Structure 1
Amino acid sequence: MACCSWIASQRSSLVQQPAGPQQRSRRRRGLAARAGLLDTLIKPITSSGERKPLKEGIANFYDESSQLWESMWGEHMHHGYYPKGGAPKSNQQAQLDMIEESLRWAGAEGATKMVDVGCGIGGSSRHIARKFGCESRGITLSPVQAARANEISRQQGFGDRLSFQVADALDQPFPDGEFDLVWSMESGEHMPDKPRFVGELARVCAPGGRIIVVTWCHRVLAPGEAGLSGDEQALLDRICEAYYLPAWCSVADYEQLFREQGLTDIRTTDWSEEVAPFWGEVIKSAFSAEGVSGLLKAGWTTIKGALVMPLMAQGFRMGLVKFVLITGRKPE
């Protein structure tokens, strides 16, 4: 528990606003060294145990962790939206605001049928279905999540309007052009084949429909830059190992993939600063008495995820880890 206490004590210093453009290069070097210290302390814990294949690991991670997350945070398994200078609000309200602000930013004013790609336990689907009066189909690799999403939706009276199933986002079990709203909230980072992922989103989108992807990316490479630095890549590798993530890409890469699919009205934005306060709240809850008890019950995979949260925050401080939105429309 000494390591847990030390990590928890870092949350206020880790989750701060990023450096400005003129300071970023100098600060990145110093922060990379600090990330190395964090990595040295956490690595022996997060590296133990045999790593499962990617799809199996993702499913197991969410099978193990979803019940704990729901018990502490509710039905929305994603970050909250905390605009700078905004009024104080609960973390649960911040999560609802993340959905509302994402829809508003993308210009999504209605839908008749949506697909929730990486649906968790269905929180986004239920919120958007209430807002727009639409149907929703959700997919996840986690059988635990799919079952719980269906259970909550039945309890809340959605009937056949909402349904959730186990399926691969890279091979969706839906016909072409099925949905006028294609929604992916914090699932794109798990996709090992980003071109195929975007291709499937475009395939199931109806002509005139809207695609919204909210996901984690690494920073955009500068012109002539061959790749991330060694320190940056090492940090991402540690995060990927704990969360069962494949190689990351940048928002510029997503923008290019959207263009290649012939999508129009393509826009992107960076909300890294708007979500940064959420890390401190998650770390604080994870190392509360209830959180520690829940982590121990949930299992080793979930514990590793909690321990790596400070590295995510460190990546943000380095200007490496980005929380981005990408939207586009399928031509009529």
Structure 2
Amino acid sequence: MNTLFRTTESPFLQYLNQPSTSDRRRRISSLPVRIGLGRSTRTGLAKTTTRMMASSSSAATETVGREVLKKGIADFYDESSGIWEDIWGDHMHHGFYNPDVQASISDHRSAQIRMIEESLSFAGVPDSLKKPKSIVDVGCGIGGSSRYLARKYGAQCQGITLSPVQAQRAQALAAAQGLADKVSFQVADALQQPFPDGQFDLVWSMESGEHMPDKKKFVSELARVAAPGATIIMVTWCHRDLSPSEDSLKPEEEKLLNKICDAYYLPAWCSAADYVKLLQSLSLQDIKAADWSQYVAPFWPAVIRSALTWKGLTSLLRSGWKTMKGALAMPLMIEGYQKDLIKFAIITCRKPK
């Protein structure tokens, strides 16, 4: 597996490091003041007020956009999680496959378990003496990873999701499986986690990073809630790394990603190298990244086949438009992988002790 370190700063990171601006800045030529201010003072006040208004407008627009995105994500998973569970079980993520062996239908759920185990192995999370005792599952879905990790390590695990339906179902499954004392779930924003600093020995994010509109804030929150010495694991969708001669993706690549974003309520994509750069900026240690795209190749074709079964079709017809739109976009994901545009990446690190 190739590591994906690249030190060249991408346009994504250049954007993150720029001060906030707005192209809707209003010109203010004068201020209605009643006290005697000199012209230079009035000009300075006008410029200051212009900047403040532009900054306020930009911040307000950004806040509204993020709230709309959050609601879209919550509604999408409220609507589609039941269908997914009915067909695929309680692990709402890719499976890890042997690229040299054709996957059978019965292998898909076990491949999802292999994804968890391979991720733990890649990150070097121990099974014995120093195994994690407290875990957070960021973007927990209906709690499949949370329950698996709680059983594996005998750990306390807390999951967060934007979807009230997912949180309720995750808690019900935990109770049914005798894990109510080990795992708990709540509706919360991954960019503002409801946990104190340094609480968790293992910070787990399985395919949730692609939904985060502020990647810098996202990884900062993962690092904040991690205890000293804790492991952080992110498995997420990325776009390909840019070459040193590129400033951006190609227009046709951007067009394809935008279609996928519209279907799955995703903000702008970034690369694994961008994530590595962000982790480095936080002084995290033992940073590793790899492209696992070849190991997940059978996943989306399998999802499409499951959707085309009688059970899948009838479930889709009973669902809402958001789920239908997501189903129609599945071939776009396959196209993205085939063109080496979409990368399935794992990025891990450790918080210094």
TM-score normalised over the length of structure 2: 0.78
Q: Tell me which residue corresponds to 2:158.
A: 137
Give runs of aligned pairs for residues 81-230 of structure 1, distance below 5 A. Answer: 81-86=96-101, 88=103, 90-109=107-126, 110-230=131-251
Residues 229-272 of structure 1: per-residue CA shift (max 9 Å, x gap): 00000000000000000000000000001111110000000110
Between the two proteins, what is the percent identity of the paired residues?
60
Displacement of 1:53: 1.5
Q: Tell me which residue corresponds to 2:38.
A: none
> Which residue, out of 68, 71, 95, partners 1:56?
71
Displacement of 1:289: 1.1
Secondary structure at the aligned position of 1:147 is classed as: helix
Secondary structure at the aligned position of 2:150 is classed as: helix
Flag the structure with higher helix content. Answer: 1
Secondary structure at the aligned position of 2:91 is classed as: coil
165-174 or 102-111, larger mean C-alpha shift: 102-111
d(CA) in 1 for partners of 2:282, 2:182: 29
> Which residue, out of 71, 90, 94, partners 1:75?
90
Q: Tell me which residue corresponds to 1:299.
A: 320
Displacement of 1:84: 1.9
Secondary structure at the aligned position of 1:207 is classed as: strand
Contact 2:143–2:159 (CA<8 Å) still a contact in 1?
Answer: yes
Q: Tell me which residue corresponds to 1:13.
A: none
Residues 71-117 of structure 1: per-residue CA shift (max 9 Å, x gap): 00001000101022258561100001110111011111121000000
Displacement of 1:287: 1.5
Residue 95 of structure 1 aligns with an amino acid whose one-letter code is Q
Give runs of aligned pairs for residues 217-296 of structure 1, distance below 5 A. Answer: 217-296=238-317
Secondary structure at the aligned position of 1:99 is classed as: helix
d(CA) in 2 for partners of 1:260, 1:150: 36
Contact 2:263–2:326 (CA<8 Å) still a contact in 1?
Answer: yes
Residue 119 of structure 2 aligns with an amino acid whose one-letter code is S
d(CA) in 1 for partners of 2:305, 2:245: 40
Q: Tell me which residue corresponds to 1:34.
A: none
d(CA) in 1 for partners of 2:120, 2:349: 12
Contact 2:171–2:180 (CA<8 Å) still a contact in 1?
Answer: no
Change (3 A) 1:315 1:87: closer
d(CA) in 1 for partners of 2:253, 2:180: 47
Secondary structure at the aligned position of 1:266 is classed as: strand
Higher relative contact order (CA closer than 8 Å, sequence separation 6+): 1
Structure 1's unaligned 5+ residue stretches are 1-51
Displacement of 1:288: 1.3
